[in-house]
Amino acid sequence: MSSTLVLLRHGQSQWNLENRFTGWVDVPLTGQGEAEAREAGRLLAAEGLRFDAAHTSMLSRAIHTLWLALGEMDQPWVPVTRHWRLNERHYGALTGLDKAETAERHGEDQVHVWRRSYDIPPPPIEPERDDDPCRDPRYDFLDDRVLPATESLKLTLERVLPYWHDALAPALKQGRTLLVAAHGNSLRALVKYLDDVPDDEITQLNIPTGVPLRYRLDDRLRVVESGYLGDADKAAAAAAAVANQAGGGTA
């Protein structure tokens, strides 16, 4: 029995546009981000994909991307699960800072370590800040001790994997077709796991906004085929744009 999994990074957000570290802060899509989400829906519709279920994070830029894509596919009825484990990587004390200014203040080498090392997180967010997840009512049902104050990609993977094992993998083993609309780093974590990407290589992977990445999996959830939908050159250019942001990275 085969299954299909589509990973979709949210469209451009306001803080993507402003080149700021976003993480768990809830910011809206830009007009371009909304257009990217609709284009993703058109690409998925052109492939004839019919989803059994969809999954997204607790952050509105991913939720709205999913809504717009499903609307474009005329599949607004698809059951949707929102879960905090699919949230973006938490950038700790860097949250909200302009990436270029942060590089000027701390040095490009230090910021590169925080952004692109696999297992070195930025300094933790100060607990008195209003954007500390422990102060966000949407996470009131969680023990504060599971909420991150900062994360590396390694820690993000450790947060995301339980959702893969508990929610996504069982459905895929039943031959379901799933859509996951999430974030650059939570999706990077899934790609690392699915493709068994080495630690020193996954940090160089850039996932473009609004371009669906389709996986075909066998009955043991091994990758049979994967690739971005639509124009390959356009997807590559979008990924390069992510990599070339000043101080760069995902948000």
Annotated binding site: 9-16, 22-23, 61, 88-91, 99, 115-116, 184-185
Distance CA 71, CA 53 (A): 14
Annotated active-site residue 10? The verdict is yes
Q: Which residues are annotated as a binding site for substrate?
A: 9-16, 22-23, 61, 88-91, 99, 115-116, 184-185
Distance CA 66, CA 60 (A): 10
**How is residue 76 written in tokens?**
């607004």
Kindly report the length of the chain: 251
30: three-class secondary structure by DSSP: coil
Specify whether the CB–CB gap between 94 and 105 falls below 8 A: no
Of the candidates 241, 223, 176, 228, the residue with the CA atom closest to the CA atom of residue 32: 241
Distance CA 96, CA 86 (A): 20
Determine which one of 36, 39, 72, 88 is catalytic. Answer: 88
Of the candidates 247, 17, 206, the residue with the CA atom closest to the CA atom of residue 113: 247
Determine which one of 10, 55, 64, 183 is catalytic. Answer: 10
3-state helix, strand, coil split of the chain in percent (to 5) is: 45, 15, 40
Specify whether the CB–CB gap between 55 and 70 falls below 8 A: no
Distance CA 127, CA 136 (A): 12
Annotated active-site residue 201? The verdict is no
Catalytic residues: 10, 88
